[in-house]
């Protein structure tokens, strides 16, 4: 489906990830440190690194673990956080971001990772990799710390597009399900549709329509539909996949992050307040580290773009080496599972299922068997 | 404007709050315990209590502090959490919620407090108290723990209506400003409009229109418009008033609450993990109590309905006595400030300002001087 079956064979049998070295807040040194951490943990990883070669080569040379595992693609321009997606689509050809996506398009890499401007990365990804047949709006999916046994939920869309109609929300349910199946060991994920209440009569007309559509497709899609869920269920345990439009999803994750950050600051202040509380903090160090590891946003760093011909992972702009390494690990894992191909098949089969006219089915998905797994 | 100038003089010079004793998760005993806490702290408070008199009288009799400060209104029916707002509007006449609002309508009380079903309470409030002239959609405003010096931000709408157009968002900005001025000591509040990014080109068309409208009215409205803000600014320090539609606002607060609750659970688990961490928890007790007081949702319990002829405070359905007492305190404070009257004047003057045809101004606000303060 994606037309690059042989990318996994390059770089001496390693899975190759294409990495945009530029555009993150902390500069290319942190990105190189991140891929070095990944390379150290995983001998099956190789990299193509995009950016100004004269800057990147010395940074890579300092990390012995990267020896022989990094190819360079010289790209002089950088997409900044201030650049508008429309400008980047017109003038972005010389940028490291463009180049990183091109390696996926050409089949040289199994996935791309970038810390750059999210809007520009999504716009360029759609331009270079194109949407999967049958997908109207691609989505960004993230992992969110939750009370579920797996420790995380998947939420999408968190900002690819501010709008989503009922059909889009159904696609998100199918793509999110596929993502959970390929990144966690959950054969039959539970899907919830985000609303202001769990009663069926609540919310917008689009949501009520999506409720019906998602419910109708749960059997063929291989998921359990738990119906409407609320904001409190995002970190909760009632669903594994939370489906929403990109506006609501984006506000929700940023509110959650902001709340967590306020609590961390307040906790630190509380422990620095008195002599006794400072001693308590010392004694509680291990416990606090466990807490902070559990809820560390760096461990779940990486929004995955779903609905494209190829895997793109957006790392947080402010990611440190640990964060970059987590994003690389995610891209690697999805490549290893053949996720892009499975998702394409899943979406194609759903297109077949939701099309009224059988003639259209052949048009959009000529070679997909609707029964194909995932 | 609200037609009840004399309500503050009843109950032996006390400010009287009308309290719906029923509909909360924990039953009337907790509501009575809550008003007793308030009565103990504040000698200027009197109550009208609504519900089955035979149940309420023995509960009140047990609290000596309430002696002579509570009038009863017998109401046999209760609005449950499952009742649909439309049903309650048709058949709710015998309920304690209806009765509690009626005391405000009749001018017997300066404000109403209920722990009941939010949708039903808003529907009944609109039916019984009616919207202020010039307000299309009333809003629910809540306080949210933040990094601001005052410790809180105001956010609205958090669920009165899932929709809001640009005019509604302007009204929310004006009502939120007025609320902040009357509940905190901030003469010139900063208003932010919630979006998925701070750049002017982001978001829905309605939001861009609202941006222009709110910006145009900042001078006459007496607030600073800080432009678009993100979810992370809700617990942040860039704005005092966060304006959004009821769908987004509702999802945001529930996500924030859920995240805070997950962190509390994880923190507790961390401290119970080992012998050493249990000792640490003992030593850190004071610090942790300080943290939990700072972020205690009960302290900020009380969503205020803005845009009605009268003050209605919605307490959390699961509120304990402390929570009920906080909601009563809020209703008292707003009554003391003459908030309902000030808000009516503020909205009327903004209607005058946003009307194109001067003739309409006299129609909707016959007796308001546009220069009137607040």
3-state SS assignment for residue B165: coil
Does A142 share its domain with A280? Answer: yes
Residue numbers in B near A88 (CB within 8 A): none
Beta bridge partners of A39: none
pLDDT of residue A107: 94
Does B162 share its domain with B129? Answer: no
Q: How far apart are CA A288 and CA B267, in angstroms?
A: 7
Q: How far apart are CA A354 and CA A13, in angstroms?
A: 40
Q: DSSP strand E in B231-355: where?
A: 241-243, 303-306, 312-314
* Range name among A29-33, A170-174, B137-141, B150-154 with the lowest pLDDT average: B150-154
- Report whether B240 contacts B141 (CB < 8 A): no
Q: How far apart are CA B347 and CA B140, in angstroms?
A: 16
- Mutation target for A interface from B85, B119, B231: give the one with most A CBs within 10 A: B231
Does B129 share its domain with B141? Answer: no
Beta bridge partners of B69: none
pLDDT of residue A237: 94
Q: How far apart are CA A155 and CA A164, in angstroms?
A: 14
Does A194 sit within 8 Å of B251, measured CB to CB? yes
Does A273 sit within 8 Å of B290, measured CB to CB? yes
Mean pLDDT of all residues belonging to chain B: 85
Q: Is the residue at A223 inside a domain?
A: yes
> Which one, of B340, B355, B353, B349, lies nearest residue B369 by Cα?
B349
pLDDT of residue A270: 74
Question: Which of A251, A257, A260 comes nearest B248 by C-beta?
Answer: A251
Residue A265 touches chain B, beta carbons under 8 Å: yes
- Report whether B169 contacts B161 (CB < 8 A): no
If you search the block for the tokens 């539609």, which residue do you land on?
Answer: B245
Does A185 share its domain with A64? Answer: no
The model's pLDDT over A72-83, given as tens digits with 9 standing for 90+, comes to 999 999 999 889
Does A152 share its domain with A211? Answer: yes
C-alpha atoms less than 13 angstroms from C-alpha of B227 in its C-beta half-sphere: 8
Does A288 sit within 8 Å of B84, measured CB to CB? no
Q: Is the residue at A364 inside a domain?
A: no
Q: What is the dihedral of CA B202, B207, B211, B212, to 10 degrees?
A: 110
Domain limit, last residue, from B251, B272, B298? B298
Domain limit, last residue, from B298, B317, B349? B298
The answer for A302, left when phi > 0, alpha when psi is -120 to 50, beta otherwise, is left
Locate B355 and state its tokens: 């009307």
- Report whether A297 contacts A258 (CB < 8 A): no
Q: Is the residue at A343 inside a domain?
A: no
3-state SS assignment for residue A1: coil
Does B271 share its domain with B344? Answer: no
pLDDT of residue B195: 96
Does A245 share its domain with A270? Answer: yes
Q: How many domains does chain A have?
A: 2
Residue numbers in A near B123 (CB within 8 A): none
Does B186 share its domain with B281? Answer: yes
Residue B6: pLDDT band with limits 50, 70, 90: very low
Residue A232 touches chain B, beta carbons under 8 Å: yes
Q: Is the residue at A5 inside a domain?
A: yes
Does B189 share its domain with B176? Answer: yes
> Given a cut of 90, is residue B170 above it in pLDDT?
yes
pLDDT of residue A298: 57
Q: Report the percent of chain A where pLDDT is more than 90.
A: 59
Does B270 sit within 8 Å of A288, measured CB to CB? yes
If you search the block for the tokens 């609202």, which residue do you land on?
Answer: B210
pLDDT of residue B216: 95
Residue A339: pLDDT band with limits 50, 70, 90: confident
Average pLDDT of span B356-373: 36
- Mutation target for B interface from A239, A259, A285: give the one with most B CBs within 10 A: A259
pLDDT of residue A2: 43
Rg of chain B on CA atoms, in Å: 21
Beta bridge partners of A143: A154
Question: Which of A231, A266, A284 comes nearest B271 by C-beta?
Answer: A284
Using CA atoms, how far residue A163 sits from A143, A157, A169, A208, B203, in Å, is 21, 10, 10, 15, 9
Does A166 share its domain with A267? Answer: yes
Question: Which of A201, A260, A266 comes nearest B294 by C-beta?
Answer: A266
Average pLDDT of span A353-372: 39
Exposed / middle / buried, residue B333 (Cβ in 10 Å: 0-12, 13-18, 19+): middle
Residue B201 touches chain A, beta carbons under 8 Å: yes
pLDDT of residue B4: 43
Buried/exposed code over A215-240 (b: 16+ C-beta within 10 A; e: otherwise): eebbeebbbebbbbbbbbbbbbebbb
Q: How far apart are CA B264 and CA B340, in angstroms?
A: 37
Q: How far apart are CA B111 and CA B340, in angstroms?
A: 9
Residue numbers in A near B257 (CB within 8 A): 231-232
Locate A177 and state its tokens: 């399900």
Q: How far apart are CA B278 and CA B286, in angstroms?
A: 14
Q: Are strands B70-74 and B45-51 parallel, antiparallel or unpaired?
A: parallel
Q: Are strands B241-243 and A15-20 parallel, antiparallel or unpaired?
A: unpaired
Angle at which helix B118-129 crosses helix B96-105, to 10 degrees, equals 40
The model's pLDDT over A125-144, given as tens digits with 9 standing for 90+, comes to 999 999 998 899 999 999 88
Q: Distance from B171 to chain A by nearest Cα, in Å?
A: 21
Does A146 share its domain with A119? Answer: no
Question: Which of B259, B281, B294 comes nearest A284 by C-beta?
Answer: B281
> Which one, of B223, B260, B239, lies nearest residue B155 by Cα?
B239
Does A230 sit within 8 Å of B251, measured CB to CB? yes
> Given a cut of 80, is residue A371 above it in pLDDT?
no
Structural domain for A213, as ranges = 136-300
Q: Is the residue at A251 inside a domain?
A: yes
> Given a cut of 70, is residue A362 above it in pLDDT?
no
> Given a cut of 80, is residue A8 above it in pLDDT?
no
pLDDT of residue B300: 62
Q: What is the dihedral of CA B23, B29, B32, B36, to 10 degrees?
A: -150
Does A287 sit within 8 Å of B274, measured CB to CB? yes
Question: Which of B236, B255, B273 comes nearest A290 by C-beta?
Answer: B273
* Range name among A340-354, B68-82, B242-256 with the lowest pLDDT average: A340-354
Residue B369 touches chain A, beta carbons under 8 Å: no
The model's pLDDT over A26-44, given as tens digits with 9 standing for 90+, comes to 899 999 999 999 999 999 9
Task: Provide the chain B residues 91-120 that lie in CB contact (below 8 A) with chain A.
Answer: 119
Q: Is the residue at A365 inside a domain?
A: no
Residue A342: pLDDT band with limits 50, 70, 90: confident
Q: What is the CATH number of the domain that holds A196?
A: 3.40.718.10
3-state SS assignment for residue A4: coil
> Which one, of A273, A268, A325, A266, lies nearest residue A300 by Cα?
A325
What value, to the nearest 5°, has the Cα angle with vertex B123 and ends B107 and B261? 105
- For A312, phi then psi, to 5°, come to -125, 125
Does A75 share its domain with A220? Answer: no
Question: Which of B203, B251, B276 comes nearest A248 by C-beta?
Answer: B251
Locate A260 and state its tokens: 């967590």
Residue numbers in A near B147 (CB within 8 A): 262, 265
The model's pLDDT over B235-258, given as tens digits with 9 standing for 90+, comes to 999 999 999 999 999 999 999 888
* Range name among A6-10, A231-235, A324-328, B321-325 with the lowest pLDDT average: A6-10
More confident: A35 or B301: A35
The model's pLDDT over B22-36, given as tens digits with 9 standing for 90+, comes to 988 889 999 999 999
Q: What is the ipTM of this complex?
A: 0.82
Domain limit, last residue, from B298, B324, B342? B298
> Given a cut of 60, is residue A335 above it in pLDDT?
yes
């Amino acid at each position: 489906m994606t037309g690059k079956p042989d990318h996994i064979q390059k770089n001496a049998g390693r899975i190759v990830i294409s990495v945009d070295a530029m555009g993150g807040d902390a500069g290319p040194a942190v990105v190189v440190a991140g891929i070095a951490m990944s390379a150290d943990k995983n001998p099956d990883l190789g990299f193509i690194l995009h950016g100004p070669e004269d800057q990147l080569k010395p940074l890579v040379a300092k990390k012995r673990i990267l020896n022989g595992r990094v190819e360079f693609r010289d790209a002089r321009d950088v997409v900044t956080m201030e650049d508008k997606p429309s400008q980047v689509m017109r003038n972005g050809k010389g940028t490291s971001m463009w180049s990183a996506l091109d390696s996926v398009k050409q089949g040289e890499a199994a996935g791309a990772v970038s810390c750059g401007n999210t809007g520009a990365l999504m716009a360029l990804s759609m331009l270079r990799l194109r949407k999967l047949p049958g997908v109207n709006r691609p989505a960004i999916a993230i992992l969110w710390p939750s009370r579920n046994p797996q420790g995380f939920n998947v939420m999408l869309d968190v900002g690819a597009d501010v709008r989503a109609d009922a059909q889009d929300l159904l696609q998100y349910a199918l793509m999110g399900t596929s993502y959970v199946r390929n990144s966690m060991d959950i054969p039959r994920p539970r899907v919830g549709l985000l609303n202001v209440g769990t009663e069926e009569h609540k919310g917008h007309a689009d949501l009520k329509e999506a409720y019906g559509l998602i419910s109708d497709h749960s059997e063929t899609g291989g998921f359990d539909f738990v119906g409407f869920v609320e904001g409190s269920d995002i970190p909760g345990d009632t669903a594994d996949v939370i489906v929403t439009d990109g506006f609501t999803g984006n506000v929700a994750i940023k509110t959650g992050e902001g709340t967590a950050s306020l609590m961390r600051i307040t906790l630190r202040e509380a422990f620095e307040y008195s002599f006794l509380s400072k001693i308590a903090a010392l004694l509680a160090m291990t416990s606090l580290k466990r807490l902070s590891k559990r809820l560390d946003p760096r461990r779940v760093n990486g929004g995955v773009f779903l609905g494209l011909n190829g895997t793109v992972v957006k790392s947080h702009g402010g990611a440190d080496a640990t964060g970059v390494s987590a994003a690389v690990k995610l891209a690697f894992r999805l490549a290893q599972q053949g996720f892009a191909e499975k998702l394409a098949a899943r979406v194609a089969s759903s297109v077949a299922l939701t099309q009224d006219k059988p003639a259209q089915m052949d048009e959009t998905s000529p070679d997909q068997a609707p029964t194909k797994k995932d």
